[in-house]
Structure 1
Amino acid sequence: MATMDPRTEIREFLSSRRARIAPAQAGLPAYGGNRRVKGLRREEVALLAGVSVDYYVRMERGSLAGASDGVLDALASALQLDEAERDHLFHLARRFRTPRGPRRRKPAVTVRATLQQVLDAISDAPAWIGNGRYDVLAMNQLARALYSPVLADSRRPANTARFVYLKPEAARDFFVDYDQVAGAVAAKLRMEAGRNPHDEELIALVGELSTCSELFRQRWASQDVRLHRSGRKRMRHPIVGRLDLDVESLELPAEPGLHLNVYTAPAGTPTADNLALLASWAATRQTLATELEAHNG
């Protein structure tokens, strides 16, 4: 599973997308009451995409060699792919066109000091910087307080995917919508695998989660993909209780692959009050830690 063979990924992705579309959804008559395949037949996808049946069969068997962007667009339309799925298909095709290289470890990512200054300047909202592997690379004080359950694991960098799948009881306590979060994590990791198939650390992470979590194996096998986008997260913090937070996830153009995540709440809401309480708690903890350090020094 963790080797991420491109032929296998193409085959499983296309067959899984084909299986979810009933003929009626594609505007096709469903001849005969006993269809032996779930979803569309291969020849129906070929018809919708405007390619020969033999050509589509070759594609679904894992070969996108020679597939033009126009053909990929037609295939994406035939399979009713959403934006993330279309991007993933193009990533898979790009990998197939590129000669396979050795797995390589990416250079260690360090967040620039000026970016940490940006985080620290955001005082009223939790803010943190992460990558596509769900590594937490830098945080402001309020984010450290918010993510204290995730940071309880001494392993660094902290990793939200490991927390979700390898600490499921703590994660279920922390994330109100745990099942939804777990699905999104697996889908975004698969999206990242399409973009960076030779990322050794990503391969190792997927292998670790696959080995240790049956739920991850199920979610990974679904072939679902998702983009990093804005949304809402509902949490139960051990200190301040329920937090319903609006999330903005912003790409950092000068740091490819990194995202700035900022969590906010409308003024006057219970969550805004609880965030202020969390900020006060975090500041008190920081003051005590500083005083203790000075005393011991």
Structure 2
Amino acid sequence: MNGKGDIRQEINQFLTSRRAKITPEQAGLPTHGGKRRVAGLRRAEVATLAGVSVEYYTRLERGDAGGVSESILEAIARALRLDEAERTHLFHLARAAGTTHPPRRRPSPQRVRPAVQQLLDSMTETPAFVRNGRLDILSANRLGYALYSEVYVDPVRPANHARFIFLDPRSADFYLDWDSAAEDTVALLRSEAGRDPYDRGLTDLIGELSTRSEDFRVLWAAHDVKFHPNGVKRFRHPLVGDLLLHFEALELAADTGQTIITHTAEANSPSDDALRVLASWTASENVPSSHGGDA
């Protein structure tokens, strides 16, 4: 998003896409039979559920969200049955619509603090890295670098998960659940675009991916957002084969926008054995601990 017009458009498309997903039956509204011309709820139905006038909701859905109260946003979130990630996204967009922002500048390089790097390096049996909201890998420990070695084949720095998934054919082999990884990646970028719509680096990345990847364009048009603090990922690593790993995303309170991602395997599982082999390889090959680069 580049300015107020883009934010208004984003609000419009987001709210439109959310009400299209809810049927009157799901919302507990009478349908009175007959063929409906719109998918999901009508604007008037959302307004009724939220307790606002049709004119007010229509103005809001058209992107005029400056000055809207939190209570109104909460009512609309309830009416549209937004989950926590969607609700947060709506609040971020409304705040951006009502904020005067200076001209965007290219972001300054992001650095991982030495204490954070020491924490990463202390995790000798756990792959770990630090990423920012654009999904750049800012730094990693040895095992984290080894696990994501395929991402680093592209010489562009900083290495970026979204660019790897959508622009590098290796990703289809690396991620055994590629479709899920792609959907999660786009949802995370969409959430970040709402949180910081004036991030030029993010805008440039989205523009590049939209231009070069049809898969990205289709997923981006869905306007889905989500939180992804933990879960399971399945990899096919070129050195140790298939891995089933649990991940945790730990936000760094002192470094806004930076998140530590860790991966662990179930004890005594084949994936645990594979991680131990990978750890032995990193030690013998003397893999450097930090391979992030500037954001």
Q: TM-score, normalised by structure 1?
A: 0.94
Structure-2 separation of matches of 1:228 and 1:203: 21
Q: Residue 258 of structure 1 corresponds to which residue in structure 2?
A: 258
Cα displacement (A) at 1:280 = 1.0
* Deviation (angstroms), 1:2: 6.5
Alignment of 1:31-110 (within 5 A): 31-110=32-111
Contact residue 247 and residue 262 of structure 1 kept, 8 A:
yes
State the AA in 1 paired with 2:195: R
- Give the superposition deviation at 1:6: 0.7
TM-superposition CA deviations, 1:10-65 (whole Å, max 9, x none): 00000000101000000111122200000001100000000000000101111112
Residue 119 of structure 1: aligned partner = 120
SS in 1 for 2:286: helix
Equivalences for 1:5-16 in 2 at 5 Å? 5-16=6-17
User: Which sits farther off after the overlay, 109-118 or 71-80?
Assistant: 109-118
Query: Would you say the 8 A contact 2:151–2:164 is kept in 1?
Result: yes
Deviation at 1:99, TM superposition (A): 1.6
Q: CA deviation at 1:106?
A: 2.4
Q: Does the Cα contact within 8 Å between 1:2 and 1:204 map onto a contact in 2?
A: no
Say whether 1:213 aligns with 2:222: no
CA contact (8 A) 1:135 1:157 kept: yes
Greater C-alpha Rg: 1
1:269 alignment counterpart: 269
Structure 2 partner of 1:170: 170
Match of 2:18 in 1: 17
Whether contact under 8 Å (1:249, 1:261) holds in the other structure is: yes
> Is residue 184–residue 228 contact of structure 2 (8 Å, CA) maintained in 1?
no
- For the residues of structure 1 that align with 2:24 and 2:58, how far apart are their CA atoms? 18
Q: May I ask how many residue pairs the two structures share in their alignment? A: 287
Deviations 1:235-276 (A, max 9, x none): 000110011000010000010100001100121111100100
Deviation for aligned residue 1:71: 0.2
Aligned amino acid, residue 210 of structure 2? S
Q: What amino acid maps onto 2:224 in structure 1?
A: D
Q: Partner of 2:293 in structure 1?
A: none
Give the Cα–Cα distance (whole angstroms) in 2 for the partners of residues 230 and 73 of structure 1: 26
Counterpart position of 1:235: 235
- Point out where structure 2 has 5 or more consecutive residues left out of the alignment: 289-295
CA distance in 1, matches of 2:25, 2:117: 52
Q: CA RMSD in A?
A: 1.3
Question: By how many angstroms is 1:158 displaced?
Answer: 0.4
Structure 1 contact 133–189 (Cα < 8 Å) conserved: yes
Q: Relative CO higher for 1 or 2, CA cutoff 8 Å, sep ≥ 6?
A: 2
